[in-house]
Amino acid sequence: MTERKIWLELFEDIWDIVLGTPEVAASLPAELLAKLQATPRDTQFARARREVPCTVKEAQVLLRVFTAAANAYALCGDSQRLRLAGEGSRHVIDALRKAVRP
């Protein structure tokens, strides 16, 4: 049985929470990091975005990363990055919900 794919489409500044922080990027499984880095950005809109196919497990890893980032940004008072991390978490949760619906 093949594992269901989840398509995560996030704005580039949200992906930057994961890809733009060396400590966070280094904590990701190598295959997931390579997939994120290899996915091209879509720049045809005012805000660049990237759509990445993930497995359920990969989406769960990203949810943990965004949640941990949101906690860290809340503690240090970075409201802009807190908002972006929260938005990333919300999008991953929505994608996971869609994946489990019959």
Domain boundaries defined on the chain: 6-100
Cα dihedral 32/39/14/70 (nearest 10): 0
Which residue shows structure tokens 């992906």? 15
Span between the terminal Cα atoms of the chain, in Å: 16
pTM (predicted TM-score): 0.89
d(CA 38, CA 44): 18
Q: pLDDT per residue over 49-86, tens digit each? A: 999 999 999 999 999 999 999 999 999 999 999 999 99
d(CA 71, CA 80): 13
